[in-house]
Structure 1
Amino acid sequence: MHPGFISMIGVVAMILVVPLWAYGDSNFRCGDSLVTIGDTAYHVMSQCGAPDSREFSVVEEKVSGKKKRKTKKVTVVPGKRSEFASSGDEIWHYDCGPEGYVHILTFSKSRLTLIQSGGRGTRRGMPCPMASEWTRRKEVANE
């Protein structure tokens, strides 16, 4: 077989596979529960528990002179309170430990709009496949 033909097959395969990575998954399993695109942030929290981190857009008002609105990104660790008002646009990270991956859930106006898998998880993360670990996440969310 001609080497150029083999290279062309590789290029065609990449063209067909790479777009699949550009799109997220349509659902995310946390223990025995399944959340899907369109679910509310409240529903995801009740099914999956607290994420390892949350980033969200907030509106900050400046007091001097006219009130100006400015969007800024803030990361909130579970169990911590924020004094900012969320616009409903959030990114949640579930770190499934070194044996798993980081799962990234994006919300717009408090609705789940995108589910992606990130790189490998860290030692700080809780293993995700076990239903008991998801139960612990739910307990953290309710504290």
Structure 2
Amino acid sequence: MTTYLIPALILGGCGILAGVLLTVAAKVFHVEVDERIEKIGEALPQANCGACGFAGCADYAAAIVQKGAATNLCRPGGADAAGKIAAILGTAAAEVVPMTAIVHCSGDCNATSQAFLFDGVQSCKAVKRFYGGNGMCKYGCIGLGDCVN
């Protein structure tokens, strides 16, 4: 019975020591984060699309607070997100100019010709990996139905 007690006490002591060391390290290396960054992050749609020009919603929120980035750059959030951000910062909401993509080749696979014949896996994702797609218009529909599936 005592042969199992000593290793158990040693293991328990190591666990307690590790817990104490981790607690001390957490207190010593604690980094203060501006609470406005978290609030702005919650006001954003969390699409992480990069349309604002930043790596994602968290990066955009940090840039607004720390670098003074414009509050109206979030396209998916639009005027609603810009208004929430302005309220958090206590500033006037900047105007959000709506943007619409225009595909000059009409975005239709019938409105453009094929640049090459693809003889691989018949999926839009696979075709897009080769030179951006098999159509002359790189932004139009490829026509293999991934979106339908």
TM-score between the two structures when normalised by the length of structure 1: 0.27
Which is richer in strand? 1
TM-score between the two structures when normalised by the length of structure 2: 0.26
Which is richer in helix? 2
* Higher RCO (C-alpha 8 Å, min separation 6): 1
Structure showing greater Rg: 2
